[in-house]
Amino acid sequence: MSETLIAVEKLDKLFGARWALHGVTFTIGHGEIVALVGPNGAGKTTLLRTIGTLARPTAGHVWIGKIPVSEHPNAARGALGFVGHQTFMYDDLTAQENLHFYARLYDLPNASARVRAVAERTGIAHRLNDLARTLSRGLQQRLTLARMLLHQPAVLLLDEPYTGLDKVAADLLDHIMLEAKSEGRAVLFSTHDLERGLAVCDRAIIMKAGKVAHDLPRAAWRDLAGFMEIYARVLEANP
C-alpha cells in the first residue's frame, strides 16, 4: 500500500438490514484531491466516518498509508485530519484553549507557535480569546479547519466542508486543499456544491445506494454541464 495514502477495499457497513456501504473499493494517492458526490443517503458521510475511525465497518479494510485502520486506529488518527458535521470543539473553552487541547492530544512540540500558525492560516487569529460558542457558524468552521491542520496530517477528510462558509472562507478552503495537494497529501471531501468541488478535485467518485457508481478522472468531463450529464445518467441507471 506504499503508493497510496488512502486504500479502501470491499468496505461494507450495515445499519440493521440496510446497506449504508456495500463493496466500496478505491485508492487515493499522494497529491490527489478527490470529491465524493451523490444524493443524500448515498453513503458519503458513513464512508468518511469509517475511513476517519469514527465508525467501524461491518466488513472490508481501510489503510491510511501502510496503517490498517481497524487494527491500529490510534496510529491512523495521527495521520488523519477530519472535518465533519460536528466541530468537536468545547463550547465553554476559547478558540485558543480548544486548539491547545488538541495540540496536547497530538503531543505537538512548540504547541503555541503551531496554534498561532493555523489560526493565522484560517483567519481566526483575532478571535482566539473568544469562547467557541460565541463564534458564528462560519467562524466555527474556520476553527474546525484550524484543528484539522494542527498536526499537519498526511490525509485530510472533509464532510460537506463548504457548509456555512461565505465566499472568502470557501476560497480559503480551496487554497488549503490545493496547498495540501502541492505538499503531497491526500484530500477526500464530500460536497453538494458541485461547481466549487469540481473546480479543485482531480477525480470525482459518484456514490449511489452505498456503492461507488462511477470513479471519474478530471479529463472525463469538459465543464460542470458535462459532468452533470454523466451524473444524471448514473443516478437514473438501475442499481
Q: What is the pLDDT of residues 162-219, one digit of tens each?
A: 988 889 999 999 999 999 999 999 999 999 999 999 999 999 999 999 999 999 999 9
**Could you give the residue range(s) of every CATH 3.40.50.300 domain in the chain?**
1-79+155-165+186-239
Question: How high does pLDDT run on average in the chain?
Answer: 94
Residue 228 C-beta-side C-alpha neighbours within 13 Å = 7
Rounded distance between C-alpha atoms, residue 52 and residue 11, angstroms: 13
- What is the per-residue pLDDT for 239? 63
Burial 172-202 (b: 16+ CB within 10 A, else e): bbbebbeebbeeebbbbbbbebeebbbebbb
Q: What is the pTM of this model?
A: 0.94
Decide: helix, strand or coil at residue 49. helix
Dump pLDDT digits (tens) for 61-77: 999 999 999 999 999 99
CB 87 within 8 A of CB 95: no
Domain 1-79+155-165+186-239 has CATH 3.40.50.300: yes
Q: How confident is the model at residue 1 (pLDDT cuts 50, 70, 90)?
A: very low
Q: What is the DSSP string of 7-29?
A: EEEEEEEEETTEEEEEEEEEEEE
CB 141 within 8 A of CB 161: yes
Rounded distance between C-alpha atoms, residue 65 and residue 80, angstroms: 10
CB 110 within 8 A of CB 150: no
